[in-house]
């Protein structure tokens, strides 16, 4: 099995995990504030990464360290805080659709970062439109989209923050520090930049909740699997496939969410649901096929 195939498999694994995190998040937000949950989740992830890769490394240059800092700020602090605040101001379905435009923004940021050397072909944009139609149907199969300007705008900013993160990961992959060690450094900056928000909002989680096996299990899943492990696997995929090709898999998040909701929450499936999932998958394959042909 070649490295490219491994990169695709790892990207799919990451998306499958991230697509199911909404269930754990929903459970934990019943007892924690969004800021408490985010800070706890990434502190746990940081501890796990230190255990996996305890050896420290010194920055080679100021430029390299700034790249790590910007990755932590964009992919950890800004993305998750903007997304969580947006969820308190607008419909979750709105956020899901808007966040899914991240691959389009990634094309723009990668074009800028590469100074015009990396750009997507027409099939990428065709696939993007097809996938977005499918995602829209999945998210609003029963109710029309209700615009909430501020919340929707924050979700759009979150998608843009993630698009900035992806090209930075590509650059970090050339530094030679290893995926786990590099992810740990990103987490260090991400949690550091999160501290002012924690101070402003307060941080006083009830430790007695850890006695609840459901609470503890969901927290361990978010902290160790969805954060530490999956950020490392996503960064590995970006290193192998590049930001644009990896970002296409974001289209699958609503599909995974749909499947997990049917299996775990026993939510019903109708014709529009199947159509939306089919269009989303078609958009992914059109974009991916375009990459192969080019």
Beta strands in the chain (DSSP E): none
pLDDT at 105: 81
**Considering the entire predicted model, what is its pTM?**
0.82
pLDDT tens digits, 219-235: 999 999 999 999 999 99
pLDDT tens digits, 157-187: 988 999 899 889 988 988 888 889 999 999 9
pLDDT tens digits, 40-64: 999 999 999 999 988 877 777 888 9
* Burial class of 186 by CB neighbour count within 10 A (0 to 12, 13 to 18, 19+): buried
pLDDT at 120: 66
Q: How far apart are CA 198 and CA 221, in angstroms?
A: 22
Which residues touch 158 (CB under 8 Å, ≥6 apart)?
78, 79, 80, 82, 83, 86, 95, 98, 99
DSSP string, 153-208: HHHHHHHHHHHHHHHHHHHHTTS-S-HHHHHHHHHHHHHHHHHHHHHHH-----GG
Q: Are 118 and 242 in contact (CB under 8 A)?
A: yes
Question: Which of these ranges, 43-52, 93-102, 233-242, has the smallest mean pLDDT?
Answer: 93-102
Q: How far apart are CA 148 and CA 253, in angstroms?
A: 22
Q: Provide the domain count of the chain.
A: 1
pLDDT tens digits, 106-149: 878 887 777 666 666 777 778 888 888 887 777 666 556 566 77
pLDDT at 294: 47
What is the extent of the structural domain holding 152?
3-293
pLDDT at 43: 94
pLDDT at 293: 47
């Amino acid at each position: 099995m070649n490295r490219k195939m491994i990169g695709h498999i790892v990207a799919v694994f990451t998306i499958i995990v991230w697509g199911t995190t909404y269930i754990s998040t929903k459970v934990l937000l019943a007892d924690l504030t969004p800021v408490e949950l985010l800070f706890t989740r990434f502190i746990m992830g940081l501890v796990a990464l230190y255990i996996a890769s305890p050896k420290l490394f010194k920055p080679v240059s100021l430029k390299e360290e700034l790249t790590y800092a910007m990755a932590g700020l964009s992919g950890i602090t800004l993305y998750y805080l903007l997304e969580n605040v947006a969820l308190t101001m607008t419909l979750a379905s709105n956020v899901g659709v808007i966040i899914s435009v991240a691959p389009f923004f990634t094309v723009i940021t990668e074009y800028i970062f590469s100074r015009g050397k990396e750009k997507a072909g027409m099939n990428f944009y065709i696939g993007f439109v097809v996938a977005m139609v499918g995602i829209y149907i999945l998210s609003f199969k029963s109710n029309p989209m209700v615009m909430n300007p501020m919340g929707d705008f924050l979700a759009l900013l979150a998608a843009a923050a993630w698009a900035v993160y992806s090209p930075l990961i590509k650059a970090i992959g050339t530094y030679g520090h290893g995926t786990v060690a590099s992810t740990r450094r990103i987490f260090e900056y991400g949690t550091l930049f999160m501290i002012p928000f924690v101070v402003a909002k307060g941080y006083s989680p009830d430790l007695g909740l850890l006695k609840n096996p459901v609470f503890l299990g969901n927290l361990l899943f978010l902290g160790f699997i969805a954060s530490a492990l999956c950020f490392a696997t996503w960064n590995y995929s970006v290193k192998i496939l590049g930001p644009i090709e990896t970002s296409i898999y974001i289209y699958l998040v609503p599909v995974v969410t749909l499947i997990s909701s049917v299996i775990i929450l026993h939510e019903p499936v109708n014709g529009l649901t199947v159509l939306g999932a089919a269009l989303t998958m078609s958009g992914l394959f059109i974009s991916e096929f375009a990459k192969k042909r080019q």
